[in-house]
A and B are shown apart, each in its own frame.
Chain A
Amino acid sequence: DADVTQTPRNRITKTGKRIMLECSQTKGHDRMYWYRQDPGLGLRLIYYSFDVKDINKGEISDGYSVSRQAQAKFSLSLESAIPNQTALYFCATEGHRLDYEQYFGPGTRLTVT
């Protein structure tokens, strides 16, 4: 089984709909991250969490919210989806405080029409 899983893997939704992307990990890592990837822009950080009680905004958090339900689960919500949120979304985990070595889930391809 994969260490980091994301659901759904693909999603098409309409403008204005609320959508939740979920991430689960079995690596036992404390730190979890949500990124979006757009062609030519690389990976941009949306939110990150160092433990269940610690949630932080990344560089592009507007229009998104997150919930850290447990050490192993970190969900990303789009409260009212808009077309420019069409992107590939990745969850990542990180274990060692000093290493910054991140392990990525398989990604969710989200299309907002």
Chain B
Amino acid sequence: QKEVEQNSGPLSVPEGAIASLNCTYSDRGSQSFFWYRQYSGKSPELIMSIYSNGDKEDGRFTAQLNKASQYVSLLIRDSQPSDSATYLCAGGSNDYKLSFGAGTTVTVRA
């Protein structure tokens, strides 16, 4: 079983809508979680990090963490065509390594 699982998608949303991406993890030792955005043919780019239960907002992005349910999510509000990309969820545990999900591809329709 993969340590980090993402809803496989692809996800298509209209411009201006909310895109919701979900991620679950199996390692209860994971303490830190990250969302990376990857445009086609480009390298992953860190967009959000979250370490504590609850919500963390940064501009149009909100990350949510629930350690009891082993669940991480990313909301993209007011989605723009420039948000069209693959989003990778990653979890870091005590061995100082990141485990990545397979990614969810988001397409924002103009």
Contacts and interface: CB of A to CB of B under 8 A. Distances in A.
B4 to A, nearest CB: 8
A64 interface: no
Interface string A22-61: 0000000001000100001111110010100000001000
B103 A42 contact: yes
B98 A102 contact: yes
B43 A102 contact: no
Contacts of A97: 96
Contacts of B98: 45, 100, 102
B49 interface: yes
A94 to B, nearest CB: 8
Interface string B27-49: 00000101000000011111001
Contacts of B32: 98-100
A50 B34 CA distance: 20
A101 interface: yes
B65 interface: no
A100 to B, nearest CB: 4
Nearest to B8: A40
A100 B34 contact: yes
B102 A41 contact: yes
Interface in A56-113: 58, 90, 97-107
Contacts of A100: 32, 34, 90, 92, 96, 98
Contacts of A40: 102
Contacts of B103: 42
Nearest to A45: B97
Contacts of B88: 42-43
B97 A101 contact: no
12 contacts: A31-B96, A35-B100, A41-B102, A42-B101, A42-B103, A43-B100, A90-B44, A100-B34, A100-B90, A104-B43, A104-B45, A107-B42
